[in-house]
């Protein structure tokens, strides 16, 4: 099966999760500074094989959806888990998915390694799910033990459970049973599901104490990098210039080997710096004629792809443009939107602002524009 297949992740978040305690459903409770569900969806957003993430929510949580990235598709859940899955499958039909990954919102510690293994098995076999072999002795009991269960070939099921879209849709239409996961539905429809070796860290937050364990796992896994970038371009004869991807009419243009987008260059160098991978000049040397007049988003997209290849994603960028003119304020929001789109971020992860140098130096003499930027990266 081609890796170009369209894969959609469905995150089930319509449950109430009352055993976890707290004033709101567990998936919306804070975990290391953001809602638990934000950690849950991150691996899917960061995986280049996943084209769309869908969150199935409870109607009572509609006011909390603004906490999610705008690129998330939100679907109202049903009366039970099966209904919620069916609603999600119906909602994505027009997107023509080839495969669907169904994941519990209460599992915030999924890592890219396990996700990639699940996807690979799904692409090969049509259906896969992670599970962990049971190591403990199992008893059947009420208050007293009355039976010991043979633990051979017994597994603890995890998610994401991954299926060909046609398979899971057909199974949910043909099987009407009360199920606790989608593997049961698919099995009841007569299909085989490949087991992928799960991960003990892929826990399901169920009880209050599970939040502490999730924090420990996420803290131990997270790596943070910070980089800085600085760039300068002088003015030349012209009638427009490009800053942070937005073209502004002006009495001059900026001179450079590429399109001289000084703001985008600074951000790009900040990302390269965080990765300890040099600067734009090393990746796209000015001695190479193919980059003459090139659009700077080529460089920025390259830095984002390099970050992903090295196991990181950009958490936020902050860029300051230093100039007397043109005035940046009226265009700052458009610049944020454009930069966010190029980097695949939400607008609130991108800061663009400006300052003058109080008529001092080359920027004060209106000889050019300088830009400085910072970027923070976190591990996938």
123 and 99 in contact (C-beta within 8 Å)? yes
Quote the CA–CA distance of 35 and 39 in Å, as a whole number: 7
Q: Is the dihedral of CA 113, 118, 119, 125 positive or negative?
A: positive
Residues 119 and 140 grouped into a single domain: yes
- pLDDT at residue 380, as a whole number: 75
- Give the SS3 label for residue 108: coil
Confidence at 199, pLDDT banded by 50, 70, 90: very high
Ordered alpha helix ranges (H), the chain: 36-46, 81-91, 112-125, 165-174, 182-188, 209-221, 262-275, 280-283, 297-309, 332-343, 361-364
Q: Answer yes or no: is 285 within a domain.
A: yes
Asked if residue 224 has pLDDT above 80, the reply is yes
For 13-43, write each residue's pLDDT tens digit: 999 888 999 999 999 999 988 899 999 999 9
Confidence at residue 194, expressed as pLDDT on a 0 to 100 scale: 98
* pLDDT band, residue 160 (cuts 50/70/90): very high
Weakest mean pLDDT among 65-69, 97-101, 157-161, 225-229: 65-69
Confidence of residue 143 (pLDDT cuts 50, 70, 90): confident
Pairing of strands 30-31, 73-76: unpaired
Whether residues 123 and 209 fall in one domain? yes
Residues 6+ apart with CB under 8 A from 201: 109, 111, 217, 221
Instruction: Please check whether residues 147 and 275 belong to one and the same domain.
Output: no
Q: Is 93 exposed, middle or buried (0-12, 13-18, 19+ CB in 10 A)?
A: exposed
Q: Which two tokens stand for residue 253?
A: 């243009």
Which residues, in sequence order, are bridge partners of residue 321?
354, 371
**Model confidence band, residue 297 (pLDDT cutoffs 50, 70, 90):** very high
**Which of 221, 254, 284 finishes a domain?**
221
Whether the per-residue pLDDT at 212 is higher than 70: the answer is yes
Q: Are 224 and 299 in contact (CB under 8 A)?
A: no
CATH number of the domain within which 318 lies? 3.30.1330.50
CA angle (163 as vertex; 161, 169 as ends), nearest 5: 115
- 342 three-class SS: helix
Look at residue 1 and tell me whether its pLDDT is greater than 90.
Answer: no
What are the distances in angstroms from CA 340 to CA 34, 126, 268, 292? Answer: 20, 35, 13, 25
d(CA 318, CA 148): 59
**pTM for this model (two decimals):** 0.72
Residue 329 within a domain? yes
In a domain, 1, yes or no: no
User: Distance between CA atoms of 229 and 303, rounded to whole angstroms?
Assistant: 13
Residue 287 structural domain: 224-379
Q: Are residues 168 and 305 in the same domain?
A: no
Residues 310-319 have a mean pLDDT of 94
Residue 3 has pLDDT above 80, yes or no: no
Residues 212 and 228 in one domain: no
> Helix-strand-coil percent breakdown of the chain, rounded to 5?
35, 30, 35
Q: Are 3 and 123 in contact (CB under 8 A)?
A: yes
Given 188, 221, 254, the domain boundary residue is: 221
Per-residue pLDDT tens over the stretch 324-344: 999 999 999 999 999 999 999
Which of 221, 245, 271 is at the close of a domain? 221
Q: Is residue 349 part of a domain?
A: yes
Q: Give how many domains the chain has, as a whole number.
A: 2
Q: Please list the residues that pair with 317 across neighbouring strands.
A: 350, 375
Contacts 24+ apart (CB under 8 A), 69-75: 69/41, 69/45, 69/346, 70/346, 70/347, 71/45, 71/346, 72/41
362 in a domain, yes or no?
yes
The four Cα atoms 49, 168, 199, 71 give a dihedral, to 10 degrees, of 40
- What does the pLDDT average to over 46-52? 94
Q: Please indicate, yes or no, whether residues 179 and 273 belong to a single structural domain of this protein.
A: no
Tell me if 2 is assigned to some domain. no
Question: pLDDT tens across 144-153, in order?
Answer: 999 999 999 9
Element (DSSP H or E) covering residue 168: helix 165-174
Same-domain pairing of 45 and 61: yes
**362 in the same domain as 328:** yes
Same domain, 244 and 188: no
User: How far is C-alpha 58 from the chain's CA centre?
Assistant: 22
Phi, psi of 64 (to 5 degrees): -95, -10
Kindly give, in sequence order, each residue whose CB lies less than 8 Å from that of residue 90, ignoring residues fewer than 6 positions away.
none
Is 366 within the bounds of a domain? Answer: yes
Say what the pLDDT of residue 2 is: 47
Q: Rounded to the nearest 10 degrees, what angle do helices 36-46 and 112-125 cross at?
A: 60
Distance of CA 91 to the CA centre of its chain: 21
Give me the pLDDT at residue 222, please: 83
Residue 240 shares a structural domain with residue 207: no
Residues 72 and 138 in one domain: yes
Q: Are both 15 and 57 inside the same structural domain?
A: yes
In a domain, 56, yes or no: yes
% of the chain surpassing 90 pLDDT: 90
Domain containing residue 28: CATH number: 3.90.550.10
Please name the residue that has the structure tokens 């500074």: 33
């Amino acid at each position: 099966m081609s890796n170009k297949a369209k894969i959609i992740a469905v995150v089930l978040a319509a449950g109430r999760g009352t055993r976890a305690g707290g004033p709101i459903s567990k998936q919306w409770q804070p975990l290391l500074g953001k809602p638990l569900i934000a950690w849950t969806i991150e691996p899917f957003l960061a995986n280049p094989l996943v084209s769309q993430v869908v969150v199935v929510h409870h109607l009572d949580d509609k006011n909390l959806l603004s906490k999610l990235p705008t690129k998330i598709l939100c679907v109202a859940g049903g009366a039970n888990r099966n209904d919620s899955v069916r609603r999600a499958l119906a909602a994505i039909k027009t997107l023509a998915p080839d495969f669907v990954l169904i994941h519990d919102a209460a599992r915030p510690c999924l890592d890219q390694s396990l996700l990639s293994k699940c996807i690979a098995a799904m692409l090969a076999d049509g259906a896969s799910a992670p599970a962990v072999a049971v190591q403990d002795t199992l008893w059947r009991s009420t208050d007293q033990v009355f039976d010991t269960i043979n633990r051979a070939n017994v597994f603890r099921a995890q998610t994401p459970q991954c299926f060909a879209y046609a398979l899971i849709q057909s199974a949910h239409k043909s099987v009407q049973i009360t199920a606790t996961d989608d593997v049961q539905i698919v099995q009841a429809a007569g299909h085989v599901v490949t087991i992928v070796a799960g991960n003990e860290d892929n826990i399901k937050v169920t009880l209050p104490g599970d939040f502490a364990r999730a924090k420990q796992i996420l803290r131990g896994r997270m790596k943070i990098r910070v980089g800085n970038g600085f760039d300068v371009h002088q003015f030349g004869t012209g009638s427009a210039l490009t800053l942070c991807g937005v073209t502004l009419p002006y009495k001059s243009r900026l001179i450079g080997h590429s399109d001289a987008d000084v703001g985008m260059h600074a951000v790009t160098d900040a990302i390269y710096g965080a990765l300890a991978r040099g600067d734009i000049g090393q990746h796209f040397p000015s001695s190479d004629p193919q980059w003459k007049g090139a659009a700077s988003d080529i460089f920025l997209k390259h830095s984002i792809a390099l970050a992903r290849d090295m196991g990181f994603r950009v958490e936020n960028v902050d860029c300051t443009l230093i100039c007397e003119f043109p005035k940046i304020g009226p265009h700052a929001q458009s610049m944020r939107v454009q930069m966010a789109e190029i980097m695949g971020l939400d607008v609130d992860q991108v800061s663009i602002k400006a300052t003058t140098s109080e008529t001092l130096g080359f920027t004060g003499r209106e000889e050019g524009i300088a830009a400085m930027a910072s970027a923070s990266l976190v591990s996938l």
